[in-house]
């Protein structure tokens, strides 16, 4: 089991409200952030003192999706729909009011934008002009999170009705519904090889599902004290991190699912309130965390394999 040293490198304080999302940008040292203040900022880990405002919207932003091929950003603007922003020009190119409610997640498959909405719909939009292709009413409770399988042939969606629904990307039909948790499912991540699906949510349990065996449950772990908000894999896929309403971040072995490290306020000057989102970056093994305390923390995660 590796020995892990954690050091807090920086605390970024440019936002004026709770932070809900961090998203990778065009280079390994760049990332976006957004939250309750409606501001979308771009940060550079090489010079993290000042963020650059890329966009400003009226309401909270829970979801971002970056399009690396053309340096554009899809912003999920609660109650107002999706906005396509040119990052370099800091200019809105298009917008579409696809829903009257909150937008919890955005992913892209091919030329289709997938938007998880508070009304239980998965909205499919054309990436080129943001026109609505279809609205799939999959639940009467919120669609909270989307994970795209590495083969792009199916997606998993977590709902506040406690289920995970597996959807085919060939015809957008329901392939399987899993009664997954005892409460809302907040976060889903496929392993890099696509063999496993990790799920967590309000019940504070981490669950591992065997994708090849029709998503049978392999393991259940009581991982945090309160709701688990996000799961983020290290770029090499060997480890992953979870973050929680209990104010902590935990590092796990992705093969054995053993807990390796707890990052919290007492031991590491961690966040003072709920940790909402994580991004484990390629750049110098930095882990980025966003919190209700209005700050972004930058963590240096050092793995030392014992001989």
How many whole angstroms separate alpha carbon 21 and alpha carbon 213?
Answer: 32
7-20 exposure pattern, b = at least 16 Cβ within 10 A, e = fewer: eeebebebbeebbb
Q: In terms of Cα–Cα distance, which of 120, 115, 124, 167 is closest to 142?
A: 120
Tokens at 194, concatenated = 């696509």
Of 227, 239, 243, 218, whose CA–CA distance to 303 is shortest? 239
For the stretch 76-86, pLDDT in tens is: 999 999 999 99
3-state secondary structure (DSSP) of residue 267: helix
Give per-residue pLDDT as tens, 178-201: 999 999 999 999 999 999 999 999
Q: Is the backbone of residue 269 left (phi > 0), alpha (psi -120 to 50) or beta?
A: left
Q: Are 230 and 242 in contact (CB under 8 A)?
A: yes
For the record, the structure tokens of 199 come out as 């799920």
Each residue of 112-152: pLDDT tens digit?
999 999 999 999 999 999 999 999 999 999 999 999 999 99
In this prediction, residues 1-17 reach a mean pLDDT of 92
288 strand-pairing partners:
279, 298
pLDDT at position 306, please? 55
Tokens of 202: 């309000």
State the Cα–Cα distance between residues 122 and 103, nearest whole angstrom.
10
Percent of the chain with pLDDT over 70: 99
Q: Write the pLDDT tens digit of every residue in 243-257.
A: 999 999 999 999 999
Cβ neighbours of residue 49 closer than 8 Å, sequence gap 6 or more = none
Domains of the chain and CATH, by start: 3-304 (2.130.10.10)
Give the model confidence (pLDDT) of 153-171 as tens digits: 999 999 999 999 999 999 9
Model confidence at 307, pLDDT cuts 50, 70, 90, reads very low
Tokens of 12: 């970024």
pLDDT higher than 50, residue 235: yes
The average confidence (pLDDT) of the chain is 96
- Pick from 259, 258, 229: which is nearest to 244 by CA? 229
């Amino acid at each position: 089991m590796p020995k892990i040293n954690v050091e807090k490198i920086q605390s970024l304080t440019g936002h004026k409200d709770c932070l809900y999302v961090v998203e990778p940008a065009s280079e390994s040292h760049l990332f976006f952030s957004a939250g309750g203040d409606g501001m979308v900022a771009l940060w550079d880990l090489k010079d993290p003192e000042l963020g650059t405002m890329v966009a400003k919207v009226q309401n909270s932003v829970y979801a971002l999706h970056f399009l690396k091929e053309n340096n554009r950003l899809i912003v999920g603007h609660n109650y107002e729909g999706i906005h396509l922003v040119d990052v370099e020009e800091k200019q809105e190119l298009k917008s579409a009011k696809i829903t009257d409610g909150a937008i919890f997640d955005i992913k892209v498959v091919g030329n289709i934008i997938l938007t998880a909405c508070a009304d239980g719909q998965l909205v499919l939009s054309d990436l080129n002009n943001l026109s609505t292709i279809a609205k799939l009413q999959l639940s009467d409770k919120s669609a909270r999170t989307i994970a795209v399988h590495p083969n792009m042939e199916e997606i998993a969606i977590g709902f506040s009705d406690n289920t995970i629904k597996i959807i085919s990307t060939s015809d957008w039909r329901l392939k399987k519904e899993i009664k997954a948790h005892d409460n809302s499912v907040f976060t889903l991540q496929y392993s890099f090889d696509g063999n496993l699906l990790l799920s967590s949510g309000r019940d504070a349990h981490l669950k591992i599902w065997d994708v090849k065996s029709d998503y049978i449950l392999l393991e259940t772990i009581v991982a945090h004290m309160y709701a688990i908000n996000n799961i983020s894999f290290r770029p090499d896929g060997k480890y992953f991190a979870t973050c929680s309403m209990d104010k902590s971040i935990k590092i796990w072995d992705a093969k054995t699912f053993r807990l390796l490290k707890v990052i919290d306020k007492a031991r590491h000057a961690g966040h003072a309130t709920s940790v909402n989102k994580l991004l484990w970056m390629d750049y110098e093994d930095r882990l980025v965390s966003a919190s209700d305390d209005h700050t972004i923390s930058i963590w240096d995660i050092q793995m030392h394999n014992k001989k």
